[in-house]
Each structure stands twice: as C-alpha cells, then as structure tokens.
Structure 1
Amino acid sequence: MLHILSFLCAMLALAHRAQSTGVIVPLYSWPGTDAWTTVYESVAAHPSVPFYLIINPDTGPGTTEYPEESYITGISKLNSYPNVRVLGYTYTNHGTRAKSEVEKDIAAYAKWANYAGKDISLAGIFFDLTPNGEDQSKLDYFQQLSATTKASSLDMVIFNPGAKILADVPDWFAAADFIVEYENTYANWVALAPSEHLSAQGNDAKKAIILNQTPVDASVGNVVKLAKNMGLGAVYLTYDDNYMGLSSVSKIAVAVSQRKARHIGHHGH
C-alpha cells in the first residue's frame, strides 16, 4: 500500500510540474487598434495557464507620469484576468547603465498603482540586457535592483541575459523570480541539447526560454512539451525577431494547457 501511495504522490508531483509552465510574452507592440486582441483571447481561453506579459511603452515607462490612454485601456483589461501578471520593461546595458536611472524606471512603474481611473498596477519588472554572471562584480548591482523592485510593491523580478548564467548561479536565481537563460533563434535551440543552453544547477522552475525566428512550419507544440517536461517556468516562441507579431500566442497557450507532458528527446524536433 505504501508503494502505491508513493507512486501516486510521484505522479501528482510530475503532473504539477508539467502544469507549472507559463507563457512569457514580450508584449512590445502598441496596444491600439485591437493589436492585443489575440492575447486577450488566449488568456481568456486558457484560465489555468499563467501569462507573464511584458509591456514596453518607450524603452521603459516613458517620460509622462502615466502611460497614454491606449496602454491604460490595454493594461487594465489584462489586469482583469486572474491568470495574468503584467511587467514593465527596463534595460540595464549588462549592468553598465547607471543604477539611479534604472531605479527611476522602477519608481515610475510603481507609481502606476496610484492611477485612479483604472487598474494599471504592475506585478513586477523585466530587466533586459542583464549579464550572464561571468563578470562577478555585477551581481551586487542586480541584487540591489531586485530589492528595490520588491520594496516598491512590484513583487516579480525577471532578468534577461538571454544566455545561461555562468557563475554564482544560486545567487542570481535567488535574486529573481525568472531568468531568461535562452533568447535566440529556433534553429539554434534545436541544434543543441537543452543542457547546452541552460545552467545546470537546478532552478528549472525559474528558467524561461524565448525562441525567435521560428519557422512557420516548426512544431511549436514540441518545444512547449519539452519545456514542460524540463519543468521550465515559462516559454515563448515567435516567428519574428522584434516581438511585434503575436500570431504564435494562441498556439503556445494551447500547447501549455495540455495536461499530459511526454518526453520527446533532447532536441525538441
């Protein structure tokens, strides 16, 4: 009987792991003229799938106190879905941008929670162009930015080096909720085993991958299933390399929502 219970617990754990993967979308397109409709529809159609949506009004929050009306309308609609977390984009130039400038962006995004008309509060910050840990002197800079973000009632921190962390791996993952360890082409992803792209020291549930230049005939489902089998926290594929197109979102959401994950080999073909 104990063996059966242990087996059932293991199966439940695996099922939970397979279901934990979310969809991370660089939602960089302007939200006017129904540009985000496919995102709204995908979010609504898959309420059990977590969506992490990164908005970027002007390479950051912009220079005005609050975003323009189209963003206010779009963000408030996204916030109406319980499975969505909206994050604000900022960049760090691999830790060379003045920390005070990044902190201004954090403060600007945090202030959106005070907007009286609609709910445009953000869940966190997406830090783009972060280092891969090879320069160990950069870690403190990002630990401080993470602490500033959390102290500003922005509870989620995502770092995007776009490559695997090479040093101080536990410390980097302790400072972030997700780290995008792969942001590169579909062709490069399938050319190597996932272990070549991602750091080896666990933290799979905090790892995210973003594939661009995906061929239109590529199997989005296979990549997503592999990500789920690996227990990755979030995945995205796009057909372009500037993240303006959103036609892949619905396919990714369908694949992530599938209850059963199966092992499909190292290359995800």
Structure 2
Amino acid sequence: MYLLSTLATFFLMLAITASAANKPPTAILIPLYLYPTPGAWDPLYQVITTYPNQPFTVIVNPNSGPGDSQFPDANYIAGVAKLNSFKNVRTIGYVHVSYVARHLADVCADITKYAGWASYKTANIAVSGIFVDEAPSEVGAGNANLIYMENVRGAISKAFAATGKDGFTMTNPGTIADKSFYEYADSIVSYESPLSSYYDPDTLQTSKDTSKSAGTPGSLQSIIVTSFTSSEARERYLLQKVVARDIGHVYFTRDPDYQAFGSDLKILVGEVAKQNGLVNTRKRWGRIDF
C-alpha cells in the first residue's frame, strides 16, 4: 500500500511538473506609440534580440490608428518590417473606440486598413490583429456595450481571415471588465494606471464583484503599469507576482505617455524572461501563431 501511495504521489508530481512546463509564458506587451525616427526603436530591437525565446506583443500606432493612407510611411514600413522579422514578436494595430462613442463604421474602416497592410508588396508589414483602446468595462443598458464589442470582434475576425490570420484581439478598458467581454477578446487589459494605484498584485485582477470577473484566467489578462517611480527591487518583486499569477501580458514603464525607452525596459524583459524560465535555456516557443 505504501509503495502504491508513493508511486501515485510520484506520478502526480510528474504531471504537475509537465503541466507547469507546458503553460504559455507571460508575454511582454509594448505600446509602441513612439515614432520610428532612425534609432528610436533600437532599444526594443536589442531586448528582442537578447531574449529570443521571450514572446512580445507589440502595438503599432501610426496616428491614433492606421492613418489616412493605405499604407504607413517609409519609416513605419521599415520599423514594422524589422519587428516582423523576429520570430518571437507579434505585431498588432492600434484602434480606439472612445468607450463605444466612436461610430462603428469608422472603427471597422481602421480594422480593414490594418488588415490590408498584408497586401504591401515590397516588405512584410502585416499585423496579426488589433489592440482596441478605450474599450468599455460594463456591458451597458440592454447589453449595448457588449453588442458593440461583439461587432468589433466580428469585424476583426472577418478582415483578418482574408489574410490568413486569426485576428488576435486585445481590448483595453484599463480596469476590471465584466467577464462577458472575454467572449470577444483574446486578452483584456485589466489594469492600466500608475504604480501608486498598484496596491495588491495578488488580488488585483479579480473583482470583488463575483458576478463580474471572478474566475477569469490570468492568461487572458494584461497588466500595464505606467509612471513607475519605485526601486528596481520593487519592480522585480511585482513582476515576479505578475508571472506567478500566469498573467498573459505585462508592461512596466517609467514613462507616462509611452514615448521613451529607458533602462527599465531591460529590467522588465530580463525579469519576465527569467521568471518564465527563458534565460540561459534551450527551451523555445517558436513563432507565436500569428
């Protein structure tokens, strides 16, 4: 009996270890709102190169959306093409919905334009999906907000299906969202605020309202901490907590407007890669399914 019990415990531990080894790593989320003047994106290229097994999701944003032209300008073409050359990078295009105040037809037009980047002939500037900013967190009267986001997700899926992509969709209410919205998103930014509001990393991503988001997997959530002013040790501690919670995406920055890269970018990527077990290892995740 003792031997059987010991064997059962042994195989259970093997199963737990295998499950932990196969779980998706926490990805680095980069709101890349900095214009790609020569050298401006180099710090990002450097950390992507330094940690080739660490996944990144990069939001490109030419002009609060794709801009007026069919394709972005030459600097953006060069920058996005370089991002797409890395196997550990997923690029997605920025669209805003102004908390559902923006006309749906205008949103869909932006989505279609981003999907159309795949048709550019002389460089690979195709994006894999859409980042929907200023998204609602409440379903609204008669589920109006939820229906709006359902239409947005439908437009993304349709536009990107034509390019052979699944249309990865990340929405950003910047706060805890009703769990109903997860049906229409692959990831939701459940926190976007300065560090001063980040009190409890262990419980932050679960609302006290049990009808709202309780039980929502951490892997479907994203965390953005802006205006980081604390110590490097504090940053590393919080990042360890985020990865331990299996949060899908994370970004910490000392810049309030996503307009600069500092030494904190190296801390962020290095610590997350370390906690993911992707430093000094042969473990590879390959190209994300873009």
Provide TM-score, normalisation by structure 2. 0.84
Counting only pairs closer than 5 Å after superposition, residues 101-112 of structure 1 correspond to structure 2 as: 101-112=106-117
Give the secondary-structure state (helix, strand or coil) at the position aligned to 1:195.
Answer: coil
> Could you tell me how far apart the structure 2 residues matched to 1:152 and 1:131 are?
22
Q: Which runs of 4 or more aligned residues in structure 1 lie more than 6 Å from their structure 2 counterparts after TM superposition? A: none
State the one-letter code of the partner of 1:200.
Answer: A
Aligned with 1:182 (options 181, 191, 204): 191
Give the secondary-structure state (helix, strand or coil) at the position aligned to 2:193.
Answer: strand
> Could you tell me how far apart the structure 2 residues matched to 1:125 and 1:35 are?
23
| Structure 2 contact 194–226 (Cα < 8 Å) conserved | yes
> Could you tell me how far apart the structure 2 residues matched to 1:260 and 1:119 are?
29
Q: Paired residue for 1:231?
A: 246
Go from structure 1 to structure 2 and tell me whether the alpha carbon gap of 1:260 and 1:178 turns closer, same or farther (over 3 Å shift).
Answer: closer
Percent of aligned pairs with the same residue? 27
Q: Paired residue for 1:192?
A: 200
State the one-letter code of the partner of 1:126.
Answer: F
Give the CA deviation at 1:118. 0.2
Q: What CA RMSD, in Å, does the superposition of the two structures yield over aligned residues?
A: 1.6
| Structure 1 contact 216–239 (Cα < 8 Å) conserved | no
The unaligned stretches of length 5 or more in structure 2 are 1-6, 207-212, 278-290
Aligned with 1:173 (options 166, 169, 182): 182
Give the CA deviation at 1:96. 1.3
Give the secondary-structure state (helix, strand or coil) at the position aligned to 2:66.
Answer: coil
Aligned with 2:273 (options 249, 257, 264): 257
> Could you tell me how far apart the structure 1 residues matched to 2:197 and 2:273 are?
25
Matched, 1:137 2:144: yes
1:80-105, CA deviations, whole angstroms, 9 ceiling, x for partnerless residues? 01110011101001111100000010
> Could you tell me how far apart the structure 2 residues matched to 1:193 and 1:42 are?
25
Matched, 1:115 2:120: yes
Number of aligned pairs? 256
Aligned with 2:172 (options 144, 152, 160): 160
| Structure 1 contact 15–259 (Cα < 8 Å) conserved | no
Counting only pairs closer than 5 Å after superposition, residues 6-45 of structure 1 correspond to structure 2 as: 6-17=12-23, 20-45=25-50
Q: Which moved more, 1:108-117 or 1:150-159?
A: 150-159
Q: Which has the larger radius of gyration?
A: 2
